[in-house]
Structure 1
């Protein structure tokens, strides 16, 4: 079976993804801040390089897939941390593993984005532009000046989705595939922290999909399983919304 690296593996969606993939017989390299096979801080350049080096060592420079689940939400200790993990922690890690994925069997990757990122497609935030220019210093400077973690979160998820779609064009020519899943509200510790926060709790509580409930991590993990399987062999550069209809409700005429 395949060797698959999963970031954000210790909890939430990442933990569910690991459970599903392991049950299917895959060999996993779990990456997280702690309690993982590779313990590294993806919010810093040093931590990302350490994660890449340790992952390459663990897979002997041959990797079949990556699932980039690591992410932080609006209750993160700083707005800069949101950008550091959600965008740069994903893009630098994937870039560093490209050659290993090429050496693997039909290498593929899935990025866990967010339905929140899609709401900024028409008017991208300047923070997103700085991220897409790979100017981390500029993006972090903007983050320090911002007092809106919700905008930073959406900008990070928009930017990482655009990165994934751009990269999928390049990867497709090399026989690799890259897709993005955009979850809506999902019952994870991250979502619970937002619900319990006095600043964001009411808005999060009212952010309800047409289906009338939040998703569960297993539903996202099922989507990951599909995108890593041969059943999705011609799916590349797509954004799969697993959101109970939230994107359709908010952007009915835009797709």
Structure 2
């Protein structure tokens, strides 16, 4: 299989790329650095150029796509969080669908977050189109508001595409990790605004996740064994969502 992976330079993306390479797949890594294709996904023109580079390397055909690139709440500009976590992800999804349609048993996985469950779409400022104003009013915690909103928005975007993508023969799902031992998590722990809250965000299982554990779920969702799995979000968080929302089923 030929699989493109954004965020392949570190964390969950790197672990996924390694697992899929070990399984014999041809990986096209996309990231700011340490990747086959280096790109700043905040820039729309750069995103378009990256898509062209992926299509050239892949010969116009992809069997899999993993959109893992993202930033956390500690980023100074909350609008940048939305740009990378939501807009860039949706842009790449839509741009690479034609290549996936030509693939063999094609599937895509988007990395969301358990934070996507912390806000309803009806209350999401991205849905209302007033996110910049809403974040400006959120003060020191605008970053977390933007992060939860962006992950909720990208999860909704995937679900909204389930009919079109299913009709095109391409499966599409999201995974929603909790706290995972990655550079992104460490950056949050080091931030004086969010560090304590992150440290207190302890799952019932009693530890944080490992990138390889998330990668194993992504690998499964890309495989033929998950052939009837489509339009779903898989929470992989050590039980934190069940702890905080036990009746939300």
Q: Indicate the TM-score class for this superposition, using the shorter chain for normalisation.
A: over 0.9
| Mapping 1:57-206, distance limit 5 Å | 57-121=56-120, 124-130=123-129, 139-140=131-132, 143=135, 146-147=138-139, 148-206=142-200
Please tell me whether the aligned partners of residues 80 and 144 of structure 1 are also in contact (alpha carbons under 8 angstroms). Answer: no
1:97 match: secondary structure = helix
Aligned alpha-carbon RMSD (Å): 1.5
The separation in 1 between residues aligned to 2:133 and 2:212, in whole angstroms, is 37
Structure 1 contact 66–108 (Cα < 8 Å) conserved: yes
2:213 maps to which of 188, 213, 219: 219
CA contact (8 A) 1:128 1:156 kept: no
CA distance change for structure 1 residues 63 and 140 in 2, over 3 Å: closer, same or farther?
A: farther
The CA deviation at 1:144 is 5.5
In the superposition, the TM-score normalised over structure 1's length comes to: 0.93
| Cα shift readout 1:110-129 (whole Å, capped 9, x = no counterpart) | 00000001121375321344
Secondary structure class of the residue paired with 1:222: helix
Q: Secondary structure at the match of 1:224?
A: helix
Q: Which residue pairs with 2:24 in the alignment?
A: 25
Kept after mapping to 2: 8 A contact 1:128/1:155:
no
The runs of 5 or more residues in structure 2 that have no matched partner are none
Classify the secondary structure of the residue corresponding to 2:81: helix
Inter-CA distance 141–4: structure 2 relative to 1 (3 Å threshold): farther
Q: Could you state the TM-score of these two structures normalised by the residue count of structure 2?
A: 0.95
- Number of equivalenced pairs: 247
How far did residue 41 of structure 1 move?
A: 1.0
Over 3 Å off, 4+ runs: 138-147
Query: Any conservation in 1 of the 2:113–2:175 contact (CA below 8 Å)?
Result: yes
Secondary structure in structure 2 of the residue aligned to 1:204: helix
Q: Is residue 12–residue 211 contact of structure 2 (8 Å, CA) maintained in 1? A: yes
CA 1:86–1:25: 2 relative to 1, 3 Å: same
2:121·2:153 contact (CA, 8 Å) conserved in 1? no
Give the gaps of 5 or more residues in structure 1: 131-137
1:31 match: secondary structure: strand
- Cα 1:249–1:93 change in 2 (3 A) is same
Give 1:133's aligned residue. Answer: none
CA distance in 1, matches of 2:33, 2:133: 28
Once the two structures are superposed, residues 121-157 of structure 1 have per-residue CA deviations (whole angstroms, 9 ceiling, x without a partner) of 3753213443xxxxxxx64565556531101000000
The verdict on how the C-alpha distance between 1:125 and 1:218 changes in structure 2, with shifts beyond 3 A counting, is: same
